[in-house]
Amino acid sequence: MPSSSDRARLVGTSEIGAEFGVDPDLVSKYYTQRADTGFPEAVAAQGRKRLWEHGAVADWFALVGTAEIAATYGVSTETVTHWYTHQDATGFPEPVGIRGRGKARLWRPEEVASWFAGQDETRLQHVGKTMGGDPDELLNATQVAKVLDYKNANQITAYLRDRPGYFPEPDVIEELGSAERPWKRRQWKRSTITAWAASRPGSGKRRGSGSAAPALPDVSVDGDPEELLAVDQAAALLGFKSVTSFSSSLYQGNLPLLKETDGTLPGERGRQRQAWTRRRILEQAEERSRRTRKTSSPPR
């Protein structure tokens, strides 16, 4: 977050364009159409040059659209649109502006996060018709994706590959194919998916998953600082209780030093898993510790 002095710094269209990667003429257009775009008011002028507070402009560019919301919460853009167009039922927040040629709607990320953290029942209402049926019925990945309103089964595959412990393990795994070309068919009970959807994380905690999360490994802080560590090892070093809570915190932007990975490590069936160096993980651990001490320190 910018410092107070940086937030108060005055910037013109050229500075805004350079910092946020847009054409200065587009900045002027955002301002001219501010009744629709929500772009902040200019607070001063230097000759014919308008000036804005840097903090207000940064806040506006931090607004999120449908695609960003979908990526953050692991749903399709169609689902986000559904949440918005059915506001009377979902309570989804109002957009605060628009951006781009397509006039994409923009929301404050903290308002979306607050809504999502308490929307379990709303989500169940949304997918209730699809989820109705025999609770013991077995669904393959494509059918699960349809129940959860995802575009295809790729989202399920990504959960299993990149976020171990986040999505429930299959209730049934069938070994199929031949010895030369074996493959596995994974199936979930409808009740398993319904329970997960009812309690999927919005604020980093999920109640009653279909299976217990695996225990985290013991990881030493004294190893090679450049050694690559996988998700479960990173979660352990950072003091998380599970990979689920680590992954949720990472995807919500609470671990900024780990936003970019340092490489990958082989996982199950040759798939690649995210990995970071021990050095960067420990740097993030120290940053979290400082933040916690600052928050918990009594006022003087």
| Distance between CA atoms of residues 299 and 150, nearest Å | 47
| Distance between CA atoms of residues 210 and 172, nearest Å | 13
Three-class SS state of 272: strand
Q: What predicted TM-score, i.e. pTM, was given to this entire model?
A: 0.41
Per the rule left: phi > 0, alpha: psi between -120 and 50, beta: everything else, 116 is alpha
pLDDT tens digits in sequence order for the chain, 300 residues long: 445 677 889 999 999 888 888 888 889 999 999 988 889 999 999 888 999 999 899 889 888 888 888 777 766 677 778 778 878 777 889 999 888 766 788 999 888 888 877 665 445 344 444 455 567 788 888 888 887 777 788 888 888 877 777 788 888 888 888 888 888 888 988 777 776 775 554 433 333 333 344 678 888 989 899 999 988 899 889 887 777 667 656 755 678 898 888 888 876 544 567 889 999 999 998 887 776 555 444 444
Residue 220, CA distances (Å) to 206, 217, 230, 232, 279 in order: 28, 10, 13, 13, 12
Phi/psi for 119 (5° steps) reads -105, 20
